[in-house]
Amino acid sequence: MNKAELIDQIAKNAGLTKSQANDALDSFTDSVVAALKKGDKVTLVGFGTFSVTERSARNGRNPQTGETIKIKARKTPKFKAGSEFSAKIAGAKTAKK
C-alpha cells in the first residue's frame, strides 16, 4: 500500500474527503517526526512505539575494494509493534505462494 492508497482508505473509513485524510496523515507523520527529533517516544497503545536509537561509530568494509572505512555514529528511527498489533498480524491469513 502506498500513501495515496492509504489516504483513500482513511477517507473511506473515517468519512472524510481525500484532502482531509491527506491533511490528517501529514499532521500525524509531522507530529511523530517532531517528537522523535526532540528525543521523545511516541506510544500508541495497542499499536506500537516510535523511538530513536543511537548507532555507535564503527568500522565497515567497502564491498568493492575490501578497504576498511569508518562509519559515523548516527540516530535512527525505530518502531516496536505493540502486542495487540502483533497478535492481529500473526492471526491474519497468509496469501498462497
**Residues 78, 35, 48, 10, Cα dihedral to 10°:** -110
The proportion of the chain whose per-residue pLDDT surpasses 70, expressed as a percent, equals 94
pLDDT surpasses 50 at 97: no
Euclidean distance between CA atoms 60 and 69, whole angstroms:
5
The proportion of the chain whose per-residue pLDDT surpasses 90, expressed as a percent, equals 91
Euclidean distance between CA atoms 16 and 8, whole angstroms:
9
> Domain 43-90 in CATH: superfamily?
IHF-like DNA-binding proteins (4.10.520.10)
Exposed, middle or buried, 45 (CB in 10 Å: 0-12/13-18/19+)? exposed
Which ranges constitute the DSSP H helices of the chain?
Answer: 3-14, 18-37, 83-91
Q: Where are the domains of the chain?
A: 1-40, 43-90
Per the CB < 8 A criterion, the answer to whether 46 and 84 are in contact is: yes
C-alpha cell at 83: 502486542
Residue 90 has what pLDDT?
87
0.85 exceeded by pTM: no
Residue 86 has what pLDDT?
92
pLDDT tens digits along 60-81: 999 999 999 999 999 999 999 9
User: How would residue 11 be classed by pLDDT, with cut points 50, 70 and 90?
Assistant: very high
